[in-house]
Structure 1
Amino acid sequence: MFSARSLFQEILDNDNSYRLFCSIAASGEAQGGWENGRIAALLPASLRGLAPKVARHGADEDKHGRIFHALMRKRGLTPTTVPEGTDYTMLLERRGIGLAHDKLRRDEPLTERDVITYLAHSRVTEQRAADQMQLLTKHFGDHPELGKAMRMIAQDEDNHLAYCHEELLKLARAGHGRTIQHSLYECARAEIVVYRDVSLAVMDHMGRILRWPRPKAAALAAAIRAVHGYERLAGWRRMVTLTTPERRDPLGGPATSAPEFV
């Protein structure tokens, strides 16, 4: 059959599938960097104290994008076009999740409700990112080509997730609890659908590149749908709970650099 490790090893061993994987990852991180940069610039006066943390979040995402580009360069690869069906950020926006790019392009201050929407969206998507990086680090944290990058990105994603918990809890204590819970619920329910669709699209492209036999591709698609079934019934709950993080003020201070990659 197949395992997460064996599947990713196949993708890693083939230049074309590895190029697509890194290109998708780099594009998503770059979009996240731009979004956070714009949000930091547009925060309302009542929440301007968040600006350094939001900017740090954006700087980390930009760094991750550069790391994935550097990983491609090490193999002599250049980025490829990201297929539309694999664009996680764009598909979430189309479902009305997070702050629309049109809003972020305007030079109009955001509202406190907008900031809650941003943080709730980030709390859900950073949970996904942290889970994925934990899995990759488990299997490839000691890999000579990928290990250092995976560990660095995983640590940043854990910090981002802790930051979302911390800031949402502060806003809940300030009286926004019901709005936060509604935003988290709506985002989580949409995200699990988008994640399923993106996973199916990515695996379809990888299967064609790697020439997977039809039974293997069908079994993998069935596994992705089974995960979605679990998340639709119960797994989404892990994305909407808020707990005081062990890492306090995780985005305080400047972003860390990654000179060995960039």
Structure 2
Amino acid sequence: MLSARSLFQEIVDHDDSFQLFCSIAASGESQGGWENARIAALVPDSMRELAPKITRHGADEDKHGRIFHALLRKRGLPAVPVPPETDYTMLLERSGIGLAHAKLRSDEPLTEEDIVVYLSHSRVTEQRAADQMDMLVRHFGDHPEVGRAIRMISHDEDNHLSYCHEELLRLAREGHGRTIQRVLRESALTEIAVYRDVSLAVMGHMGRLLHWPPAKSAALAAGIRGTYAWERFAGWHRMVALHPPERRNPLGGAPTGAPEFA
């Protein structure tokens, strides 16, 4: 029987698939760390109070990248190149989600609208990250090899999502509500399509590494497409709703380290 638990267990148990999984995850987290660091450096003067929180967000993402690299080192495995079709962060940028890297590489300050767009994009992608980590914690939070890492990353992702809700609600009260709702909707509809394509690509690679029979690969692909159909019909609404978070000022303190991993 196919289930998220059985699939992830299979990936974790096999060195080649575990190596690819951690490499993809580490690359995406490190890219997110760089992007947030650049955004923090370019925040306009009128929003400088956000810079420490954006910096904290980037530091957390860098930490997650180090954690995945550390998991690889514990098995004596090097990171491997990330196949382009599995690079969620790169594909999101190409689809217009996230601030363009050309803009982030320049020294020109960002605008207030850029920051509103960045936070709106982040609200959508952090929902995906928080949901994925919550699922992994449910099934593997006590796993002797990856459980501690999963719990730590999940806690951070919940903080990131709360931060996005909190800041977007504040910015909506300050007059940015129409822009926020427009960008949230556009981002959610784009993200679910990118997530479908990346999921199909990742499962394709895993299937080849783990020698899955065609029927198993076909069933997984059908499930991914079915999830996309539901998200396209109704599920995306959950990714655009804003509500006051239970965790207040979640990125207001100092970042937590990960000495046992880094």
TM over 0.5: yes
Instruction: Determine the structure 1 residue equivalent to 2:137.
Output: 137
2:191 match: secondary structure: helix
Quote the sequence identity (%).
73
**Aligned equivalents of 1:38 and 1:14: distance in 2?**
36
1:2 match: secondary structure: coil
Instruction: Determine the structure 2 residue equivalent to 1:152.
Output: 152
Instruction: Determine the structure 1 residue equivalent to 2:84.
Output: 84
Instruction: Determine the structure 1 residue equivalent to 2:8.
Output: 8
Partner amino acid, structure 2, of 1:59: A
Instruction: Determine the structure 2 residue equivalent to 1:165.
Output: 165
1:97 match: secondary structure: coil
- TM-score when normalising by structure 1: 1.00
Shift of 1:254: 1.0
Unaligned runs of 5+ residues in structure 2 are none
**Aligned equivalents of 1:199 and 1:113: distance in 2?**
31
Instruction: Determine the structure 2 residue equivalent to 1:196.
Output: 196
Shift of 1:46: 0.5
**Aligned equivalents of 1:97 and 1:258: distance in 2?**
29
**Aligned equivalents of 2:144 and 2:195: distance in 1?**
29
Q: May I ask how many residue pairs the two structures share in their alignment?
A: 262
Instruction: Determine the structure 1 residue equivalent to 2:96.
Output: 96
**Aligned equivalents of 1:161 and 1:120: distance in 2?**
11
**Aligned equivalents of 1:251 and 1:19: distance in 2?**
31
Partner amino acid, structure 2, of 1:240: V
Instruction: Determine the structure 2 residue equivalent to 1:35.
Output: 35
Instruction: Determine the structure 1 residue equivalent to 2:67.
Output: 67
Q: CA RMSD in A?
A: 0.4
Instruction: Determine the structure 2 residue equivalent to 1:117.
Output: 117
Shift of 1:74: 0.2
Shift of 1:24: 0.2
Instruction: Determine the structure 2 residue equivalent to 1:183.
Output: 183
User: 1:165-222 CA distances to partner (integer Å, 9 max, x unpaired)?
Assistant: 0000000000010000001000000000000000000000000000000000000000
1:154 match: secondary structure: helix
**Aligned equivalents of 1:138 and 1:153: distance in 2?**
13
Instruction: Determine the structure 1 residue equivalent to 2:223.
Output: 223
User: 1:3-54 CA distances to partner (integer Å, 9 max, x unpaired)?
Assistant: 0000000000000000000000000000000000000000001100000000
Instruction: Determine the structure 2 residue equivalent to 1:238.
Output: 238
1:23 match: secondary structure: helix
Instruction: Determine the structure 1 residue equivalent to 2:248.
Output: 248
Shift of 1:253: 1.2
Q: After TM superposition, where is structure 1 displaced by more than 6 Å over at least 4 residues in a row?
A: none
**Aligned equivalents of 1:171 and 1:227: distance in 2?**
32
**Aligned equivalents of 1:93 and 1:75: distance in 2?**
32
**Aligned equivalents of 2:92 and 2:77: distance in 1?**
29
**Aligned equivalents of 1:45 and 1:171: distance in 2?**
15
Unaligned runs of 5+ residues in structure 1 are none
2:212 match: secondary structure: coil
1:250 match: secondary structure: coil
1:18 match: secondary structure: helix
